[in-house]
Every structure is written in C-alpha cells, then in structure tokens.
C-alpha cells in the first residue's frame, strides 16, 4: 500500500531554513505527483506547490515563490521541501501528499515546523 513517511519535527529560529523530507513506498515513485500542503495551528489547509518526480518540474504558489524549493531523489524515492527565510507565521504542520496533478490521494503523517526565537 502507498506509504509516505515524513521527517521529524523541527524547531527553527526566524530567518533560518528548514528542509522536510517525504519518503515514498508501495508504488512506482514516478507514477504520482507530490504536493506539499501546510496547516497552521487551528487553521485550514494551504497548498504550497507540486513536483513531478518524473523529471523534477515544479509549480509553486505565488505566495511561496522565491522561498520554497521542492526537489526529489529518485534513487531513494524521496521528495524534499526546503523553505527559507522562516518567520513565525510559517509555524505549521507540513504535509506531503501523492496523487494526480489535480488531487491529493495519499498523505504523509505531517511534520511540525516551529519557528521561534
């Protein structure tokens, strides 16, 4: 069955960067796009962008353009989300989710990123 296992919780200072990983198993890695979604405490879901593991092309929402980088390593079936210039408003649970380009079929367990001085 499809499994997405994300890296552990992070605590970062304002201005730092964070890199969250998402290791996929149970399917052919290049068969699904990988999305990244975040959820601030007590808030709704916010889509950040998508990477196509087949080739590595990416699309980011305008809000995160210039601050987010999504990459993949096909040898380990892992995708990464790097977010820079962190501020307190970036405190959230970050999810990876595999699916088509238009929907999110399978979700990781989430990674809490806390930004605090």
Partner 1 sequence: EVVLTQSPGPLSLSPGERATLSCRASQSVSSSYLAWYQQKAGQAPRLLIYGASNRATGTPDRFSGSGSGTDFTLTISRLEPEDFAVYYCQQYGNSLLTFGGGTKVEIK
Binding site for partner 1 (CB under 8 A): 35, 37, 44-47, 50, 59, 61, 95, 97, 99, 101-110
User: Three-state SS for 90?
Assistant: helix
The CB-of-62 to partner 1 minimum distance in angstroms stands at: 8
Name residue, tokens 């353009």.
65
CB of 86 to partner 1, least distance (A): 22
Q: Nearer to partner 1 by C-beta: 44 or 89? A: 44
User: What is the DSSP annotation of 10-68?
Assistant: EEE-TT--EEEEEEEESS-GGGSEEEEEEE-TT---EEEEEE-TTT--EEE-GGGTTTE
- Min separation Cβ 20 and partner 1, Å: 14
Tell me whether residue 23 or residue 106 sits nearer to partner 1 (CB atom): 106
């Amino acid at each position: 069955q499809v499994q997405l296992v994300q890296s552990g919780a992070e605590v970062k200072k304002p201005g730092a960067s964070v890199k969250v990983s998402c290791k996929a198993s149970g399917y052919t890695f290049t068969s699904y796009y990988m999305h990244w979604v975040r959820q601030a405490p007590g808030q709704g879901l916010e889509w950040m962008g998508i990477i196509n593991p087949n080739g590595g092309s990416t699309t980011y929402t305008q809000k995160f353009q210039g601050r987010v980088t999504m990459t993949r390593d096909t040898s380990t079936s892992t995708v990464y989300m790097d977010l820079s210039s962190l501020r307190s408003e970036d405190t959230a649970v970050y999810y990876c989710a595999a699916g088509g380009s238009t929907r999110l079929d399978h979700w990781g367990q989430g990674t809490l990123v806390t930004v605090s001085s």
